[in-house]
Amino acid sequence: MADRYDVVVIGGGPGGFRAARVAARRGASVALIEKQYLGGTCLNWGCIPSKALLAAAHALLAARHAAEMGLDIPSATPNWPVIQQRKDAIITGFRKGMAGSAKAHGFNVIPGRAVITAPGRIEVQGESGNTSLEAGKIVIATGSETTLLPTIPVDGRTVITSKEALSLPNIPASMAIIGGGVIGCEMACVYAAMGTQVTIIEALDQLCPMTDQWVGRLLEREFKKLGISSLVSRKVASVDTSVAPARVALEDGTTLNAEKVLVSVGRRAVVDETVAALNLRMNGRVIAVNDKLETSVPGVYAIGDVVGTTYLAHGATAEGDVAAANATGADERMEDYDMVPRVIFTFPEVASVGKSERQCEQLGLDITVGKAFFKANGRAVAHNALSGQARVIRDNATNNVVGITLVGEGATEYAPLASTLIGKSDKVTKIIFPHPTVSEVLEDAVLDAVGPVLYGPPGL
């Protein structure tokens, strides 16, 4: 006889784990099925290990620039095995923490691969055999996987994905990164700091193409200081791994050599045999859902990368909250995806919330853009973190703030504060920012965007 649960969640990444926890706290009996490790890609091969490496890289760069602060550090060299050990220990610690959290919140974690055989029925293929479950409601959170290029086969040794890049046994002398998006740029910062000669090759006309053009240009300029070469508007034709180092040929006829070639051209939803029997309505390669995260099959919800809305861990957890609440009798909705912060942990960091300047242009909005610079901020200068700026977008028709982007050291930590300013006008100038703090960069940009409306032009 099959075990029955009110809610079964498939996938133990950030979104799935949050959904299981919320549903359990709302009184439902819950099972979470995870085929490999709790935490999914984010904890095990994405967000957390990459941030552990970026933290080591940041400390290394700070040590190398210590003389500018009046500190003498004789040498600053990476101990790669210890860096890797620390990264792995962080991952293991959080896995154990998630297992304990599941127990504390009263939901079962079932290891194995889930296959939905019919609405409300799930087969779990585990190492010790198969088990059957019945579910009142199902939440699909199967995540995403690396997008591969058919013309550039990945062998896991010379041509690698971000998964291998996080655990290389040695620091390579050189690396070519195909794709200048979030993952590619973050990995570029890690390895450039470690001493690798890094070249990013991006097919579009800027790094991090999802951001406004000024952000991409700023990153390209700062990356150059790190020794990173950025080749934008360029495409890779082929990679020859029969020679060492590998030879990377571009479509314009130029070539470059690299010990490692990282393919980082995005991620795609994992929609496989897990959900095949349901015949779900699809939106291209992702599962189609409404604003309640309901699929085309009653009682089945989908969240996170598998629905292709944000490809962000915190976007998945926000969707997990909504889906779990609705699966347990509530009537919640995802309202505005522009309010999901978009963050990039490069050197310098990038954080955006609300509409971008590009979106405003596409929507035909009449806007004013307020600007402020880190090099004019007292604490940023004191910390030797001069690179970056903040931009605040005001809709001139409403005088409301509709978008904010910050680029600079620690910018990602200001995303929640920035979120509270979206949709406001006069009240944003009532916020008192402590001095001296880097947050005053945001204050200055707000005043540059909104101040003229409230106080009149300069000189009055």
Q: Say what the pLDDT of residue 424 is.
A: 82
Are 215 and 165 part of one and the same domain? yes
- Sign for the pseudo-dihedral over CA of 187, 193, 194, 198: positive
301: CB partners within 8 A, 6+ apart: 19, 137, 138, 139, 140, 289, 292, 293, 294, 295, 323, 326, 327
In the predicted structure, residue 2 carries a pLDDT above the cut 60: yes
Q: Say what the pLDDT of residue 94 is.
A: 98
Are 407 and 321 part of one and the same domain? no
Are 127 and 26 part of one and the same domain? yes
Structural domain that includes position 195:
159-265
User: Which among 337, 360, 389 is the end of a domain?
Assistant: 337
Average pLDDT over residues 42-49: 97
In the predicted structure, residue 16 carries a pLDDT above the cut 90: yes
Q: Note the pLDDT tens digit of each residue in 314-370.
A: 999 999 999 999 999 999 999 999 999 999 999 999 999 999 999 999 999 999 999
Give domain status of residue 236, yes or no: yes
Are 172 and 197 part of one and the same domain? yes
Q: Say what the pLDDT of residue 129 is.
A: 87
In the predicted structure, residue 459 carries a pLDDT above the cut 80: no
Give domain status of residue 202, yes or no: yes
165 token code pair:
């890049």
Distance CA 117, CA 256 (A): 50
Q: Say what the pLDDT of residue 454 is.
A: 56
Distance CA 184, CA 201 (A): 9
Number of domains making up the chain: 3
Are 82 and 120 part of one and the same domain? yes
Are 443 and 406 part of one and the same domain? yes
Average pLDDT over residues 35-51: 97
Give domain status of residue 154, yes or no: no
Give domain status of residue 392, yes or no: yes
Give domain status of residue 176, yes or no: yes
Average pLDDT over residues 421-430: 82
Q: Say what the pLDDT of residue 1 is.
A: 66
Q: Say what the pLDDT of residue 74 is.
A: 86
Average pLDDT over residues 275-287: 96
Q: Give the model's confidence band at 452: pLDDT under 50 very low, under 70 low, under 90 confident, else very high.
A: low
The one-letter amino acid code at 196 reads T
Q: Give the model's confidence band at 209: pLDDT under 50 very low, under 70 low, under 90 confident, else very high.
A: very high
In the predicted structure, residue 453 carries a pLDDT above the cut 80: no
pTM: predicted TM-score of the whole model, two decimal places: 0.95
Average pLDDT over residues 12-36: 98
In the predicted structure, residue 460 carries a pLDDT above the cut 60: no
The one-letter amino acid code at 27 reads G
Are 278 and 261 part of one and the same domain? no
Distance CA 342, CA 403 (A): 12
Q: Say what the pLDDT of residue 281 is.
A: 97
Are 296 and 361 part of one and the same domain? no
Q: Is cis: bond before 245, omega within 30 of 0?
A: yes
Distance CA 403, CA 355 (A): 4
CATH code of residue 409: 3.30.390.30
Give domain status of residue 151, yes or no: no
Distance CA 12, CA 80 (A): 30
Give DSSP secondary structure letters for 76-97: ----HHHHHHHHHHHHHHHHHH
Residues serving a catalytic function are 435
Are 34 and 116 part of one and the same domain? yes
Please give the share of the chain, as a percent, with pLDDT higher than 70. 98
Q: Say what the pLDDT of residue 455 is.
A: 55
Are 253 and 142 part of one and the same domain? no
Give domain status of residue 460, yes or no: no
Are 323 and 438 part of one and the same domain? no
Distance CA 373, CA 303 (A): 37
CATH code of residue 200: 3.50.50.60
Are 60 and 95 part of one and the same domain? yes
User: Which among 245, 265, 285 is the end of a domain?
Assistant: 265
Q: Note the pLDDT tens digit of each residue in 94-144.
A: 999 999 999 999 999 999 999 999 999 999 999 888 999 999 999 999 999
Torsion of CA 47, 52, 57, 62, to 10 degrees: 110
User: Which among 283, 311, 337 is the end of a domain?
Assistant: 337
User: Cβ-count burial of 371 within 10 angstroms (0-12 exposed, 13-18 middle, 19+ buried)?
Assistant: middle
Q: Say what the pLDDT of residue 128 is.
A: 85
Give domain status of residue 427, yes or no: yes
Fill in the DSSP letter of residue 152: B
Q: Note the pLDDT tens digit of each residue in 129-188.
A: 899 999 999 999 999 999 999 999 999 999 999 999 999 999 999 999 999 999 999 999
Q: Give the model's confidence band at 395: pLDDT under 50 very low, under 70 low, under 90 confident, else very high.
A: very high
